[in-house]
Amino acid sequence: MTGELILRQRQPASFLWLYAIAWAGGAVAYVPFLTILLPVRLASLAGESRVEWLAYITFFGAIAASVGGILFGWLSDLSRTRKPWIVAGLAGSIALLLSVPLATSPLHLLLLIVAWQLALNMMLAPLAAWAADHVPRHQLGVLGGMLAFSPALGSIAGAAVTIPGLSGADGRLAVVALMVVACVAPALLLARPRPEPVQGEAELPPVREAPRRAMALAMWMARFLIQISEATLFAYLYFYFRSIDPGSDDASVARLFSIVITLAVPVALLIGRWSDRSGHPIIPLIGTSIGSATGLICLAFAETPGEATAAYVLFGLATTIFLSLHTAQTLRVLPRPDRRGRDLGLFNLTNTTPSLIMPWLSISMVPAFGYSGLFLLLAALALGASAILFLVARHR
């Protein structure tokens, strides 16, 4: 390619930032709702059965998210348009979110959450494919760094809706809805991507020796292994710190989590920019997956609160950066340009299915081997991800 062609095919920074903020709207939608507002609502409806009902809601919600990601990504492929699906999903998910106070029983709440997950993925699946349609490969690293804002804004949203005196339980749902609209609407109204088919078949192929499908499968498996580690540690982080330091409380653990994912943003931006300029998009993924494994090993052998905190900072930074960069680099290996939405829906299974595996993994490991045994197993999974990515890098 000539320098003039590469310049013509670059997307403006305004589009990338508007897209990244819109993508963060998904985290703003589900992080405060699923981690704070939903459990509070469920406690008032289910009483002593709240733990069992939360498990049911998590299980069926994950299935709905999995189905919705594939279905609506595929439908947006068939219709050859993304924005109408994004708008419909945004409107539907907001309407269902605001309907939560109308649920009068745990079963009603479960059905509502299933519908909400479907609507949310009606928005997110075409939104993911929108980036695949327009962002060129030589900007995917920068985009991946920008996507690190997603967990950071999700955490900030969770902190914002719990500010004392800000609003009541129903009002907090409205606050979340307004924040989601504020994130997503600007991209729908103002983003103007350049229309060149920068990801089309006319470009130099991103895979030179290995088939695209094999590359896609390898990228899927690597993310899946890291996501199992991330989801498991996130679920048991509070209990782990309590085992190390009985004086730890939920507020201190939440602050640590927020600090780590906020620090990950500038680091991810720097690494993503380097990967674009160097032409080595997989190397940062290998390095961060090894960092995740190292953090887990350190957590397994930590004996003091300081050691545990340092180990978690390493794990949290590495994992957040990995997931952000991987989300963008996934667009590089999609096998069919006319089925990007469907294929990204299949990749979304790496985000949803770990929630189905994690409880059973923890139940089988922690009673017998403690948290150290669990974390060493998770470290082995993360090292497996790095080994898979090493093979991907060799066959590019």
Give pLDDT, residue 84: 96
Boundary (domain end) residue, out of 194, 214, 244 = 194
Closest CA to 237 of 150, 152, 316, 320: 316
> Same structural domain for residues 361 and 392?
yes
Closest CA to 353 of 232, 172, 271: 232
> Same structural domain for residues 190 and 211?
no
Residue 18 included in any domain? yes
Give pLDDT, residue 74: 96
> Same structural domain for residues 160 and 285?
no
> Same structural domain for residues 184 and 333?
no
Residue 11 gets which letter from DSSP? P
Closest CA to 389 of 230, 223, 227, 270: 223
When divided into structural domains, the chain yields a total of 2
> Same structural domain for residues 230 and 161?
no
Residue 2 included in any domain? no
> Same structural domain for residues 212 and 102?
no
> Same structural domain for residues 395 and 332?
yes
> Same structural domain for residues 61 and 85?
yes
CATH code assigned at 272: 1.20.1250.20
Residue 6 included in any domain? no
> What amino acid occupies position 183?
C
Residues 340-394 have pLDDT tens digits of 899 999 999 998 888 778 777 777 787 878 888 989 999 999 999 999 999 887 7
Residue 152 included in any domain? yes
Sequence-distant (6+) residues with CB within 8 A of 62 are 117, 352, 353, 355, 356
> Same structural domain for residues 117 and 221?
no
> Same structural domain for residues 366 and 386?
yes
Residue 345 included in any domain? yes
Q: Which residue has the tokens 């969770």?
A: 158
> Same structural domain for residues 20 and 165?
yes
10 Å CB burial of residue 200 (0-12, 13-18, 19+) is: exposed
* Torsion sign, CA atoms 102, 107, 111, 113: positive
Residue 1 included in any domain? no
- For residue 177, the enclosing domain spans 11-194
> Same structural domain for residues 394 and 250?
yes
- How far apart, in whole angstroms, are the C-alpha atoms of residue 375 and residue 362? 10
Task: Report the chain (396 residues): mean pLDDT per 10 consecutive residues.
Answer: 48 92 94 84 82 84 93 95 96 96 92 96 95 89 92 86 76 93 96 64 43 84 94 80 77 80 92 91 94 95 91 94 93 84 92 81 79 92 95 74
